Structure formats: structure tokens, C-alpha cells
Amino acid sequence: MKWLVNMLTSTIGRKLVMALTGLFLILFLTVHLTGNLQLIKDDGGKAFNIYAEFMTTFPLIKIVSIGNFFFILLHIYTSVLLTQRNRNARPVQYAYTTGQATNSSWASRNMGILGTIILVFLIVHLKGYWYEMHFGAIPTQNYDGKEVKDLYAVVKASYTQIWYVAFYVISMAFVGFHLVHGFSSAFQTLGLNHPKYTPLIKGLGYGFAVLVPIGFAIIPIVMFLKG
Ligand code: HEM
């Protein structure tokens, strides 16, 4: 057991934790987007509300949800520890901070800032929907004799405000930049480097980092336009 603790608290162990929790969150985002796209169906929110009800009450999903929050916190905590260790190991900052040329990407140098912006988004996001669904007094809808919370109405009402839509769309751009570097970095840490497959993985990472945030951003825009 001690070897596991030693391994996970070493620099490479912490990078591994970042990669694995990051890949789990990437998986979560894919499922989350697929479910959320039901918000733009023309059915008055029925499919989305039934889906949201299932996601908050089905026991197995409840466990996954706890795991999800745990992985988010672990991802953030480990990133702070790694940043501190990097700073301590190299008190003199790299030349890029003084504006000199560099061959690393902007996203890779600013993962901490991007992550912090996404954290602010997450706090606002969870307060607006997750908290309301679990603890708020929200209206209900009756579908085939079953009373279901109308989370669709909560989301719809929030996207009647242009500033809220703008906040979501801009936040999705930051999510995209974070994913561009995060995806390939995770695969690099896991040692999945191969002359034939690395370009494919990079391509997939870019595709994911562009398409998933666009998919999310479409939701507030469409709901706002439909009114
Ligand atoms: C237009 C974009 C998005 C919409 C409309 C949306 C909608 C929602 C809704 C309605 C919930 C509450 C569901 C429930 O409690 O059953 C929720 C939960 C959540 N959302 Fe989003 N979301 C969006 C984007 C994102 C993004 C980009 C992230 C991450 C960066 C994210 C992370 C989460 C998390 C962690 C939860 C809590 C999930 C859980 O209970 O395990 N969401 N979202």
C-alpha cells in the first residue's frame, strides 16, 4: 500500500492522476453533451426532464456523480500541487514569461489560468442548475401520470438573458483551449506515443476540443433564439 501512496505522490504519479482524472472528465463531458442536446428538441422539455430525473435518481448514476465530483476536486488539487512543485524546482521563471519566443502553445502554458476560469464557470453553472435540481423549489410537469421536476424550465428561463448566454458561449471557448492541450497531454503522460498513432490521437483531440464546446455553445444560443 505504501508503494502506491509513494507512487501517487511522486511527480510522475501526480501527472498520472491528472491524466486519468482528465480522461474521466472528458468522458463525462461527452455523456453530458449528449444528454443536454435534448434541451433543443421541440417537445417542450419532456425528453430532457425525463432524462434529468433519471440522472438524479438512478442509484448507479448517483455513485458515478459522486465519483465525478471527487475527480474534479482531485484534478484541481493535483494541479495545484504540481504547479507548486514546478515553481519550487525552478524559482527563476522561463523566458516565455518575459515575452521571448517559445515553441510551446499558448494553451499549454496557461492551463492553470484556463482551469481557474473553468472553475468559476463550474461554480456558477452548478449553482444555476445542479443546486436548483437537488435543493431548489422548482415547478413540476406531469408526464403519463408521473410528477417530474421541470429542470427544462429553469434552463430555458436562464437563457432568456443575453449576458448569461454570452457567459456560457465564452466559457465554452476556454473549455476548448483547456481540452486542446489536456487531451494530447494526457495521452503523452500515459506513454501512448507511437509514430503511427500519435498524429491520429492529436487529430482526435483537436476534433473533440473544437466540436464538444461548439455542441455545448449551440444549446444556449438556440434556446435564446427560440425564446
Ligand atoms: C450549454 C452547456 C451546458 C448545459 C446546458 C448544462 C446543463 C446542466 C444541467 C441542467 C445540470 C444539472 C443536471 C442534474 O443535476 O441532473 C448540469 C450539471 C453539471 N454540469 Fe453541466 N451543462 C453544460 C455544460 C457543462 C460543462 C462545459 C461542464 C464542465 C466543464 C459541465 C459540468 C457539469 C457538472 C460537473 C454537473 C454536475 C453533474 C453531476 O450531478 O454529477 N456542464 N449541467
- Model confidence over 152-185: pLDDT tens digits? 999 999 999 999 999 999 999 999 999 999 988 8
Contacts of 156 (CB under 8 A, 6+ apart): 45, 223
Which residue, by CA, sits nearest to atom 14 of ligand 1?
130
Give helix 46-57 / helix 11-36 axis angle, nearest 10°. Answer: 140
Continuous segment of H or E residues that includes residue 146: strand 146-149
Give 122 Cα–ligand 1 centroid separation in angstroms: 8
**Mean pLDDT within 192-199:** 80
Between vectors from CA 190 to CA 185 and to CA 191, what angle results, nearest 5°?
Answer: 95
Q: What is the pLDDT of residues 26-59, one digit of tens each?
A: 999 999 999 999 999 999 999 999 999 999 999 9
> Stretch 183-212: mean pLDDT, rounded?
87
Q: pLDDT digit string (tens) for 63-114?
A: 999 999 999 999 999 999 998 887 777 666 655 554 555 567 888 888 889 9
What pLDDT is stored for residue 93 in this prediction? 61
What distance in Å separates the CA atoms of residue 134 and residue 151, rounded to the nearest whole number?
Answer: 10
Residue 65, pLDDT score:
96
| 118 pLDDT higher than 60 | yes
CA-68 nearest atom, ligand 1? 41
pLDDT at 200: 87
Residues 187, 205 contacting (CB under 8 angstroms): yes
pLDDT greater at residue 10 or residue 103:
10
| CA 18 to the chain's CA centroid | 13
- End-to-end CA distance of the chain, in Å? 56
Q: What is the pLDDT of residue 92?
A: 62
Distance from the alpha carbon of residue 197 to the mean position of ligand 1, in angstroms: 32
